[in-house]
A and B are shown apart, each in its own frame.
Chain A
């Protein structure tokens, strides 16, 4: 039966069939046109300009007229990789993102699991709302809060530590403590928001499974471990793949807001490096080259993570 159906579907469409099909559904295709144009104009056509990475940029010439860069066009890639500040920025980008992933990825999952166990609805909703609020704050404001809390002389936390007889902790201006503060604040800002998708996945799990488990005498922890977690596993995998695809990327404003001169050896990342050398230093070819490198590395990570998850028997994202 199934076989016959698939054969039927494979049968080539005649011209008449096509005509009927188009006549019936043309509005849908017309609707599709708008997003297609959007992608072509704003996402695909700008890709042409990655050529700038291989050319000597000039403001008054068309991309096609600009002369090719030295070393078969790879001058700016070589220049970037010879620059130890770039290597340092690359290292920091990967490390900070990795720490973010390791420390930050499990938090919303755990939070969602805990929240799911709450029976008192009003309390659950309140906690959830309070937790995802920071997501809507800009990083500049968050830095302002962090400064008020963590500054060495007048920060609230340090004042408490001193009152208790402790030593001032340089949360924001010591390179190593800075990394912890940066990661911590990042988790605080995002875990509530990120848990929403897990909560949605949890609510999709059939209650019958829980009822059956209860009948079998499972306790709450066992239900969480054997039903809830496996139930949201596909969601976790998809989000993990997406997160891995971003391991070389870096948002600009979070790092930029938290940077200061005393922590630069750990705080300079690719995006701020590009801002400093490329935009402020007017080296457009160099910044394009670095941007291109970053995108390609991200795609490679994404494909690898996807391949790996399929190997492990998950569905992956493509």
Chain B
């Protein structure tokens, strides 16, 4: 008897655990909800390659005036940045606005599910594997989506977005075919994800301490050589600049992510006439490791490192330690996201400098890494390639989810989420531009311009471009709007956005991303900090290891696929 009971319990738990481990069961929800009333749209083959042909869409019979008859419930991923003193990411002034709006406009109840921003890929992996992912997922990592799509864990959006096109006017208008179809497969027309759009694709800018330049009577550097002279001057005048803290001087700071934090320098060594083909073939590494000039760029960094121009703790410290050094005023120059020293209001780097050092202490944007033709090229992303939105197969409300995306792409809603309420998060200047103010409590935006909420839009996007530009500069109180405008200008100087080669899924890349990125960072960090006489040996050894470990396979497959698709052509339209 006892045995029987035991075995029943055990069988029960076994079955339960089996069921829990195989989510979805391969059962895809019907695409589009109810589409019988609409003619099946014919999608021209040309649209697969992203041509701008008009797409005839349909609308859903489930909706009356855009509303469901019965309340639907969807869950939406939201990043949790864990900011000190931030608002609750799933319950604040802006989530309430969305919840209320979605309920009124579409009769859809929205629930937010938070995912830690800095481990989002791992977290979303876990949620997908457990079958508990939110209905609307977003991630920066397309390979994650591709992997789960290959396993049948992601909904194909192709028919959904076309069949319901008339119900999704804002989404189509804002994302356009470029972003809607960016990830569409040329081979079979599947569409696993929609690309959120960058309203602002500024990438990286070099910053230097303006007050130090003034103290030493130096001009803002405009070439690599001048930049080198400046940081040498910082090193040599540490006593003047830092007094008793002279030992803390770091003329030029990078973190362990050298490829990002010295990107402009590395890219200035690339061939100015590089073809689209070369850019594509080596484009799998977003830190330009295998591009033609990188070795010499790192050799220069190695020289600087060994001349005591750089930070010795870069490999073992975390980024907050480096931020603190910038805030304390020990750092002379650095490269980072275009708005880095202005971020976080009163706790921004520039605000800290002004508090700790003096009124005129601040970082200003400079443009000083010219290529061999004397141009200041900024390789940057296209408007696509930012956050990718996808629906896991556990999503049984695809239409309601699409309506959510449409709602969040409405310019009025974007503007409200980005600027908030007058008197609470912003005030208006005489010319109508927004000036932003530090909010408190529920009105605090956990991400700049609430980009975590406006998932289809990254960056400030207001009704007109002039308003956007004017407001952008005001967006970083208490930092000087003129400094922000200058940084924006530098970031835009010589912009070269990535083109879409429309070649999907390189098999050699599957599962290799993390491993190769790890190796790349090891190469950069080791070669930058080794003794100058070891540089060549270290670079060659580590680089050959990188190529053997999968790098070369990727390059070969990319070359092969490019040639299969474009033949001898080396430039994209």
Interface residues of A (CB under 8 A from B): 29, 33, 36-37, 40-41, 45-46, 49, 58-63, 83-85, 147, 151-154, 172-173, 260-262, 264, 276-277, 279-283, 286
Asked if A40 meets B10 with Cβ closer than 8 Å, knowing A61-B22, A281-B515, the reply is yes
Select from chain A the residue with minimum beta-carbon distance to B28: A60
Q: Are A33 and B6 in contact (CB-based, < 8 A)?
A: yes
Q: A60-B152, A151-B317 are in contact. List 13 more A-B contacts (CB 8 A).
A: A49-B21, A59-B23, A59-B24, A60-B393, A61-B22, A61-B26, A63-B21, A84-B549, A153-B247, A173-B316, A276-B518, A281-B515, A283-B511
Residues from 505 to 535 in B contacting A, C-beta threshold 8 Å: 511-515, 518, 521-522, 524-526, 529
Select from chain B the residue with minimum beta-carbon distance to A83: B549
A147 to B13, CA, bound (A): 46
Task: Tell which of B121-129, B207-215, B331-339 binds the partner.
Answer: B121-129
Separation in Å of the B68 CB from the closest CB of chain A?
Answer: 28
Select from chain B the residue with minimum beta-carbon distance to A30: B2
A29 to B121, CA, bound (A): 46
Chain B window 306-323, contacts with chain A (Cβ cutoff 8 Å), 1 for yes, 0 for no: 000001110111000100
Q: Are B315 and A59 in contact (CB-based, < 8 A)?
A: no
Chain B residues whose C-beta falls within 8 Å of the C-beta of A279 in the assembled complex: 122, 125
Select from chain B the residue with minimum beta-carbon distance to A258: B316
Q: Are B526 and A262 in contact (CB-based, < 8 A)?
A: yes
- A46, A151, A262, A281: the one contacting B529 at CB < 8 Å is A262
Task: Tell which of B71-79, B143-151, B407-415, B471-479 binds the partner.
Answer: B143-151
Chain B residues whose C-beta falls within 8 Å of the C-beta of A154 in the assembled complex: 248, 313
Interface residues of B (CB under 8 A from A): 2, 6, 9-10, 13-14, 17-18, 21-26, 121-122, 125, 128-129, 143-144, 147-148, 151-153, 247-248, 256, 311-313, 315-317, 321, 393, 511-515, 518, 521-522, 524-526, 529, 549
- B14, B316, B393, B549: the one contacting A260 at CB < 8 Å is B316
Chain B residues whose C-beta falls within 8 Å of the C-beta of A85 in the assembled complex: 515, 549
A49 to B17, CA, bound (A): 11
- A262, A264, A282: the one contacting B125 at CB < 8 Å is A282
A62 to B21, CA, bound (A): 8
Separation in Å of the A167 CB from the closest CB of chain B?
Answer: 13
Total contacts A-B at CB 8 Å: 109
Select from chain B the residue with minimum beta-carbon distance to A37: B9
18 residue pairs of the A-B complex, CB under 8 angstroms, read: A37-B9, A41-B10, A45-B14, A59-B129, A59-B151, A59-B153, A60-B22, A60-B26, A85-B549, A147-B316, A147-B321, A151-B317, A153-B248, A153-B313, A173-B316, A262-B316, A280-B121, A282-B144
Separation in Å of the B86 CB from the closest CB of chain A?
Answer: 22
A304 to B526, CA, bound (A): 41
- B129, B313, B521: the one contacting A151 at CB < 8 Å is B313
A61 to B144, CA, bound (A): 18
Closest CB pairs A-B (n = 7)? A261-B525, A280-B514, A281-B511, A59-B151, A60-B152, A262-B315, A260-B315
Q: Are B529 and A58 in contact (CB-based, < 8 A)?
A: no
- A45, A46, A49, A151: the one contacting B316 at CB < 8 Å is A151
Q: Are B24 and A60 in contact (CB-based, < 8 A)?
A: yes
- B151, B315, B524: the one contacting A60 at CB < 8 Å is B151
Chain B residues whose C-beta falls within 8 Å of the C-beta of A147 in the assembled complex: 316-317, 321
A37 to B8, CA, bound (A): 12
Chain A residues whose C-beta falls within 8 Å of the C-beta of B315 in the assembled complex: 173, 260-262
Q: Are A264 and B522 in contact (CB-based, < 8 A)?
A: yes
Asked if A276 meets B316 with Cβ closer than 8 Å, knowing A59-B128, A61-B22, A282-B144, the reply is no
Q: Are B521 and A59 in contact (CB-based, < 8 A)?
A: no
Select from chain B the residue with minimum beta-carbon distance to A44: B10
A37 to B6, CA, bound (A): 8
Q: Are A282 and B511 in contact (CB-based, < 8 A)?
A: yes
A261 to B258, CA, bound (A): 11
Q: Which of A33, A63, A262 has the most CB of B within 10 A?
A: A262
Q: Are A41 and B22 in contact (CB-based, < 8 A)?
A: no
Select from chain A the residue with minimum beta-carbon distance to B131: A59
Separation in Å of the B221 CB from the closest CB of chain A?
Answer: 25
A37 to B513, CA, bound (A): 41
- B121, B122, B515: the one contacting A277 at CB < 8 Å is B515
A154 to B314, CA, bound (A): 12
Chain A residues whose C-beta falls within 8 Å of the C-beta of B18 in the assembled complex: 62-63
Asked if A261 meets B22 with Cβ closer than 8 Å, knowing A41-B17, A153-B312, A276-B514, the reply is no
Chain A residues whose C-beta falls within 8 Å of the C-beta of B524 in the assembled complex: 261
Chain A residues whose C-beta falls within 8 Å of the C-beta of B122 in the assembled complex: 279-280
- B17, B312, B313: the one contacting A45 at CB < 8 Å is B17
A102 to B25, CA, bound (A): 50
Select from chain B the residue with minimum beta-carbon distance to A178: B316
Separation in Å of the A78 CB from the closest CB of chain B?
Answer: 16
Chain A residues whose C-beta falls within 8 Å of the C-beta of B9 in the assembled complex: 37
Separation in Å of the A178 CB from the closest CB of chain B?
Answer: 10
Q: Are A277 and B313 in contact (CB-based, < 8 A)?
A: no
Separation in Å of the B245 CB from the closest CB of chain A?
Answer: 11
Separation in Å of the A57 CB from the closest CB of chain B?
Answer: 8
Chain A residues whose C-beta falls within 8 Å of the C-beta of B513 in the assembled complex: 281
Chain B residues whose C-beta falls within 8 Å of the C-beta of A61 in the assembled complex: 22, 26
Chain B residues whose C-beta falls within 8 Å of the C-beta of A49 in the assembled complex: 21
A85 to B152, CA, bound (A): 31
A46 to B524, CA, bound (A): 41
Q: Are A152 and B522 in contact (CB-based, < 8 A)?
A: no
Chain B residues whose C-beta falls within 8 Å of the C-beta of A173 in the assembled complex: 315-316, 529
A281 to B510, CA, bound (A): 8
Select from chain B the residue with minimum beta-carbon distance to A282: B147
A154 to B311, CA, bound (A): 11
Q: Are A45 and B13 in contact (CB-based, < 8 A)?
A: yes
Separation in Å of the B528 CB from the closest CB of chain A?
Answer: 10
A214 to B549, CA, bound (A): 67
Q: Are A277 and B511 in contact (CB-based, < 8 A)?
A: yes
Select from chain B the residue with minimum beta-carbon distance to A58: B151
A283 to B150, CA, bound (A): 13
Chain B residues whose C-beta falls within 8 Å of the C-beta of A60 in the assembled complex: 22-26, 151-153, 393
- A83, A84, A260, A286: the one contacting B256 at CB < 8 Å is A260
A318 to B211, CA, bound (A): 73
Asked if A261 meets B521 with Cβ closer than 8 Å, knowing A60-B22, A153-B313, A282-B147, the reply is yes
